[in-house]
Amino acid sequence: MALLSVRNLTTSFATDQGLIRAVNGVSFTLEPGEVLGLVGESGSGKSVTALSIMRLVREPPAKVEAELLDFEGTDLLRAAPRALRDIRGSGIAMVFQDPMRSLNPVLSIGRQLAEPLIRHLRMEAAAARRRAIELLEMVGIPMAEKRLGSYPHQFSGGMRQRVMIAIALSCNPRLLIADEATTALDVTIQAQIVELVRTLTKNLGTAVIWISHDLGLVAGLCDRVNVMYAGRIVETGPVREVFYRPAHGYTIGLIGCTPRVDRVGTPLKPINGLPPNLMDEAPLCPFLPRCDVAVPACHQTMPVLRSLPGGHSAVCLADLTSHHRGAH
């Protein structure tokens, strides 16, 4: 049985100008211990997908709909607020993109670390304090015991992100959603966090949804990857299949504009144009105006998801079997 099942997830926002379809028909499953990458440009719907799964999108103005949104047998769309609070933290934990807005500025770091331990694991205050020190040490915070009394504004951006990761990992969740979790960290701490995630998946069976712009990091950490564009998943499959044999023009574009250490001196190829207006329901492939591999059929019909060898699928009409690009 899948840990998380998402089928035809749609999240729209009502505005004065019209309806914005930020997530448009997203479907995927996640198994225990699996690491799933979610990649795409800013505005492609990655974070809204994660927030919709957590039921943290404010409704209204948003409206979250799905044929299925199931976590360990619980219907997240119809679960009562108390049941959702029980799931958040112990069942599903999330590392948010902006730690300064996610941490409470008037509560000490120690109190914010201890709260989920007391709430979900029923720890006594002294035990929660000891565990909080261990968590801070685990994510590389120096003088961890002393820093428990500090407040978020007394930490750097990277250290605040490490605190957010410690809070997310505190209750050993079955699913960790990491939204650009290592963006503000130096490469040494980034490597430590990635290794920590690997340990969690191996020893505890924790599943991970890793949202990132860093294709190299996704290639090294994730088992599968979903490529998102304009609120849709346009390509999905095992990491090696998707990065070695991209089957959508957008994936080829992302790979082409990513720096690589084995191609020093080779100019990057940017993706021309801009993402589409999400208030307009595209009659054709939304990536068509920016695509370098479009075929005549692309100008006549909307593509549907087609299966490819190796558990690989893409929403594309072009035959891209000749485009075998190296992974990152």
Domain enclosing residue 16, as ranges: 4-91+171-314
pLDDT at 162: 83
Least confident of 53-62, 183-192, 282-291: 183-192
Residue 309 has pLDDT above 70, yes or no: yes
* 3-state SS, one letter per residue, for 237-255: EEHHHHHHCCCCHHHHHHH
* CA-to-CA dists, residue 95 to 6, 18, 147, 165, angstroms: 20, 31, 20, 6
Please report, rounded to a whole number, the percentage of residues in the chain having pLDDT higher than 90.
38
CA gap 273, 276 in Å, rounded = 9
Residue 244 has pLDDT above 50, yes or no: yes
Name the amino acid, one letter, at 35. V
- pLDDT tens readout for residues 20-50: 999 999 999 999 989 999 999 888 899 999 9
pLDDT band at 215 (very low <50, low <70, confident <90, very high): confident
User: Is residue 36 situated within a structural domain?
Assistant: yes
With residue 68 as reference, give the H or E element that holds it: strand 68-71
Bond prior to 61 in cis (omega within 30° of 0): yes
Among left, alpha and beta (phi > 0; psi -120 to 50; other), residue 248 is: beta
CA gap 234, 298 in Å, rounded = 14
In this structure, are residues 294 and 248 in contact, taking their beta carbons and an 8 Å threshold?
no
User: Is residue 13 situated within a structural domain?
Assistant: yes
Rg (CA), the chain: 21
- pLDDT tens readout for residues 69-122: 999 999 999 998 889 988 988 899 988 877 777 888 999 999 999 998 998 888
User: Is residue 248 situated within a structural domain?
Assistant: yes
pLDDT at 23: 93
With residue 162 as reference, give the H or E element that holds it: helix 157-169
pLDDT band at 55 (very low <50, low <70, confident <90, very high): very high
User: Is residue 265 situated within a structural domain?
Assistant: yes
Average pLDDT rounded to a whole number, residues 130-146 = 88
Domain CATH for 273: 3.40.50.300
pLDDT at 327: 41
pLDDT at 322: 52
pLDDT at 89: 84
Residue 133 has pLDDT above 60, yes or no: yes
Name 303's Cβ contacts closer than 8 Å, sequence gap at least 6.
285, 315, 316, 317
pLDDT band at 8 (very low <50, low <70, confident <90, very high): very high
User: Is residue 230 situated within a structural domain?
Assistant: yes
Average pLDDT rounded to a whole number, residues 206-229 = 91
Please report, rounded to a whole number, the percentage of residues in the chain having pLDDT higher than 70.
96
Residue 326 has pLDDT above 60, yes or no: no
Q: Which two tokens stand for residue 232?
A: 């849709």
Count how many domains the chain has.
1
pTM above 0.75, yes or no: yes
In this structure, are residues 243 and 219 in contact, taking their beta carbons and an 8 Å threshold?
yes
Say whether 51 sits in a helix, a strand or coil. helix
- pLDDT tens readout for residues 152-196: 999 887 788 888 888 888 888 899 999 888 776 777 777 877 887
Of 214, 207, 254, 259, which is closest to residue 235 (Cα–Cα)?
254
CA gap 86, 172 in Å, rounded = 13
In this structure, are residues 50 and 57 in contact, taking their beta carbons and an 8 Å threshold?
no
- 4 DSSP β-pair partners: 30, 71
| Higher pLDDT, residue 204 or 177 | 177
In this structure, are residues 316 and 249 in contact, taking their beta carbons and an 8 Å threshold?
yes
Average pLDDT value over all residues in the chain = 87
Average pLDDT rounded to a whole number, residues 292-304 = 89
Say whether 131 sits in a helix, a strand or coil. helix
Per the listing, tokens 């409470």 go with 104
